Amino acid sequence: MQATLDPKPSSPAPSAEVSVAIRDLCFNYGSSQALKDITLDLHKHEVTAFIGPSGCGKSTLLRCINRMNDEIPGTRVTKGSIHIEDINIHDPSVDVVKLRRDVGMVFQKSNPFPKSIYENVAFGLRMRGVKDKQVIDQAVEESLRSAALWDEVKDRLQESALGLSGGQQQRLCIARTIAVKPLVVLMDEPCSALDPIATAKVEELVWQLKNDYTFVIVTHNMQQAARVSDRTAFFYMGELVEYSDTKRIFSNPRVRKTEEYISGRFG
C-alpha cells in the first residue's frame, strides 16, 4: 500500500471518451467551502461512483453537474469549471432548463409525481412540447422496458404512480429520466431507501443501461460501488482524495485515507 497524496486520476482506459470534464472546481455554501479544487473526468458508457463520508461534498458535486444547486440561495461556484461537450455549463449564456434536459437526475427518495404511471414517464417529453401521442406512447413503453418495469405495470399505466412499491417507484423515476434520452444520468444515493431485493434490481438496471449513458452514482454503500461502477472517486472534506479504477480502489488503494474508509475505520 503506497501512501501517495496525488489525487490526479489515473486513466485505466484511455480509449474511453470523456463526457463531463470537471476542472479545479471550487464551490461555496455561503462562506464555507464545500468543494476544493476538484478535477475529474466522467467517461461515456461507464458508471462512476462517488463515495465518501457524510458531508464530504459528493452530493454537492453531483448537483453541480446539472446545476440543481442554483436553487439553493447563497451557493456559488467560486473557481473552476464543468464542461459537457466542451461547453462550460456555468457560462451565463447557458439555459439551465435546456442543460437539465441532457443531464437527468434520480433522487435519494423516489419522487414520482402524483399522476399516473404513464404521465410520469411522459412528463419530460411533454415539457419539451412533444404532442404526438404515438411518439409519447412509444417512448413510454421503451423507457419502461429499459427500466425493467414494463411487465409489472403495462396493465395499469393509467393508475397513480403512488400505488407502486418503493423499488418500483425508484425504477419509475429512472424510466422517467431516461425517457428523454439524456447524455448523463446522475443518481443521488438511489437505493438508500430500498430493501436489498429492490436494490439489486436497480443495480442490475444501471449495469444494463450504462452502454447508452454516462452514469454517476453517489452511494454510501461500499459494496454497491464495487458492484456497479467502473470507476470510483473517494471524497473527503470537500476534496477528491483518490479517483481510479473501481477494482484498483477496492483492492489496492493508493491513499491511506481511502483504505481506512473502505475498510470501515471511519465514515
Question: Binding residues for another protein, per CB under 8 A?
Answer: 66, 68, 71, 97-98, 100-101, 104-105, 107, 109, 111-115, 123-124, 126-128, 173, 176-177, 180
- Grid cell, residue 74, equals 447563497
The b/e string for 189-223 (b: 16+ C-beta within 10 A; e otherwise) is bbbebbeeebbebbbebbeebbeebbbbbbbebbe
> Minimum Å distance from CB 96 to another protein?
9
Minimum distance of another protein from residue 35's CB (angstroms):
20
The closest alpha carbon to 59, from 231, 175, 189, 164, belongs to 189
Q: To which residue does cell 436553487 refer?
A: 71
Pick from 215, 236, 232: which is nearest to 53 by CA?
A: 236
Task: Identify which of residues 82 and 249 has a Cβ nearer to another protein in the complex.
Answer: 82
Q: How far is CA 194 from CA 20, 69, 123, 159, 197, in A?
A: 29, 25, 24, 22, 8
Which residue lies nearer to another protein by CB, 5 or 127?
127
Q: Are 108 and 190 in contact (CB under 8 A)?
A: yes
Q: Which CB sits closer to another protein, 48 or 66?
A: 66
Minimum distance from residue 111 beta carbon to another protein (Å): 4
- Minimum CB separation from another protein for residue 124, in Å? 4
Instruction: Please say which residue, 98 or 265, places its beta carbon nearer to another protein.
Output: 98
CB of 122 to another protein, least distance (A): 11
Closer CB to another protein, 91 or 151, in the complex = 91
How many other C-beta atoms lie within 10 A of the C-beta of residue 229?
28
Task: Cell numbers for 118, please give them.
Answer: 404513464
